[in-house]
Amino acid sequence: MGATNSVAVFVRAVMKILHDHLPETAPFVDDIVVAGPRDDYGGEEAFDGVRRFVLEHALQMDKVLTDIARAEATVSGKKSWWGVPRMAIVGYEVDKNGRHPAKDKVRKILEWPECRTVKEVRQFVGIVVYYRQWIFCFSLKAEPLFVLLRKDARWIWGDEQRHAMKILKEAITSPPALVAINYRGGLLIVGVDASVRGAGAHLEQVGPDGRRHTIRFESTLWSEAESKLHSTKLECKALVWALKVFQVHLYGHPFRVETDAKVLIAQLNRSSPDLPGSVMNRWLATILQWEFEIVHVPGKKNVIPDALSRYPQPEGWTPPKEDEDDLEPFIDRVLNRYEEINLVMATEETIGKLLTEEYDEKSEEIAVFLRTLKRPDGLRGQERRKWTKNAARFFVRDRHLFRKATKAMPVRRVVDGEDLQAALIQEIHERLGHKGIQTTFGAVCQRYWWDGMYRQVAKQLGPCKVCQTMRGTRKEAELNSTYSRAMWSWWTVDITHMPRVRGRTYLLVAREYLSGWPETRALSTASSDSVAKFIFEEICCRWGVPERISVDGGTENNLRV
């Protein structure tokens, strides 16, 4: 009954009300943005005096307001903006051309004085990094400031740091318009390039006019160890990094990758004569989880990502000792701990049958994929991704297929064939002394795995006569609901932290259990005296002494309470 989850409850209610209008309507807590049509139709009129795009927007607004009224909610007319061509939304300004940094935030950045402490540098970088997607070569431009934020770094504020602040301020004053992705529109394009210093990438989409429109820029710095890698490895890791930073935009949608790395293209297309190492195999396997086409773009034409990765370094620059963006958790998440798989770049003809005769065709297909990265024919789109994700949960050892360990379960051997599965269930069931379905299933699933294990265990052991004879009657406990007999007889009291306003940092909330009637008070300290005073004044004196008050075990509910 506390107020800690009140925001989540409110957001859930708003999303439920406006569920049918997503994504044209974008609610953010108590701000509701209703987007108009993407096109003005060249000023075409729906009927005399009313343009078509205005009418469509008005009809969409009518649907949204109708559902809000149906839910008996209200909107503030004074705080609302209607039919505006440009408006501010959570730190951005949005119009028909795309997203722009908010003017008040830009003004704050431009007026920021020179930093005197590490804390001030962190504050400046924190607000600028919010707009990094607009800033060309952000990581490299901000490198002199990042140096000061490293652990045990000496405080040196010199010309390099002043220049970094200056160019960041200049970059934010004239940013390009970043368009929003239209998944019903043109092709998505990811451009990526790497150098010994870092990597750069950009995400674009081909618009109705046939031109490319930028969605966002990204750049990163290599660590000291990464900067010593071979150029082919750097290009491969740069593509993995680009897929990570753009993953929310690319999941479930085909796209094109443009790069100047011919060797990487050959390895992804299986035409390279050189077998990559184990690290490269992990990166290649991660890349192949996406559905895309990759094309070669000469370095002279691959201008944007090339510039993002080769921005001139400041005097005395040294690469960071640690990775700026650790890709291993991302790779493990995509591959589901692929490191247990011994990837061997081979063909199905050269390796022969990988598993013993007891396994069926589906298990053999998984084993072939784990060794060769070759998927079954006929898989497309979502089905292909789903199959690959499932196959990554297994590994092959001594011609047997195993299910990889999770936090809750150990490594388990895969068992195919209903006869073998039934024999295993019966043997374990008898060894346990006919302990029942749950106990038998718990023992089986700790050692073996197949799809539909529990259903098969329950089906096989259900008619077991020995179990039916030994089974005793078991009474189910009744569900005892709590209720209040009368108004004002039961109150619940809780306290929560709130942003500091006029010296008050806590909000004390009491709710009458039957009706939900709230009583609140802002407090400067969370003490038992304050809580006791609130209960006496706001509950006892106004509504009478209650029969019961429910509180948690916080220290503020001791002593006087």
Strand spans (E) along 383-472: 394-397, 400-403, 412-414, 448-449
Give CA–CA dist 535/82, Å, rounded: 45
Burial level of 137, CB count in 10 A (0-12/13-18/19+)? buried
Where along the chain do its domains lie? 6-84, 100-173, 188-334, 336-403, 415-470, 490-557
Classify 288 as helix, strand or coil: coil
Give CA–CA dist 205/214, Å, rounded: 7
Quickly name the fold that domain 490-557 has. Answer: Nucleotidyltransferase; domain 5 (3.30.420)
Give CA–CA dist 320/148, Å, rounded: 11
User: What local confidence, expressed as pLDDT, does residue 468 receive?
Assistant: 72
Classify 328 as helix, strand or coil: helix
The DSSP string of 262-282 is HHHHHHHTT--SSPP-HHHHH
Q: In what order do the strands lie in the sheet with 394-397?
A: 394-397, 400-403, 412-414, 448-449
User: What local confidence, expressed as pLDDT, does residue 1 receive?
Assistant: 44
Same topology between domain 100-173 and domain 490-557: no
User: What local confidence, expressed as pLDDT, does residue 319 receive?
Assistant: 47
CATH number of 100-173: 3.30.70
CB 295 within 8 A of CB 228: no
User: What local confidence, expressed as pLDDT, does residue 299 receive?
Assistant: 56
Reduced DSSP (H G I as helix, E B as strand, rest coil) percent helix, strand, coil of the chain, to 5: 40, 20, 40
User: What local confidence, expressed as pLDDT, does residue 510 receive?
Assistant: 93
Give the closest residue to 343 by CA, choosing from 390, 253, 420, 282. 282
User: What local confidence, expressed as pLDDT, does residue 559 receive?
Assistant: 64
For residue 494, give the H/E element and its range: strand 490-501
Other CB atoms within 10 A of residue 125 CB: 20
What tens digit of pLDDT does each residue of 45-85 get?
A: 888 888 888 888 889 899 999 999 999 889 988 888 888 88
User: What local confidence, expressed as pLDDT, does residue 345 receive?
Assistant: 43
Q: Which residues of the chain have pLDDT under 50?
A: 1, 301-322, 324, 337-350
Give the closest residue to 543 by CA, choosing from 508, 510, 521. 510
Domain 188-334 - what CATH class? alpha beta
Q: In what order do the strands lie in the sheet with 292-296?
A: 212-221, 198-206, 188-194, 255-259, 292-296
What tens digit of pLDDT does each residue of 280-313 get?
A: 777 888 888 888 888 888 755 444 444 444 444 4
Give CA–CA dist 175/136, Å, rounded: 9
Q: Which two tokens stand for residue 398?
A: 């001594």
CB 190 within 8 A of CB 172: no
User: What local confidence, expressed as pLDDT, does residue 335 receive?
Assistant: 63
Give CA–CA dist 535/508, Å, rounded: 10
Residues whose CB falls within 8 Å of the CB of residue 52, separated by 6 or more in sequence, listed in order:
41, 44, 45, 46
User: What local confidence, expressed as pLDDT, does residue 333 receive?
Assistant: 67
pTM here is 0.46
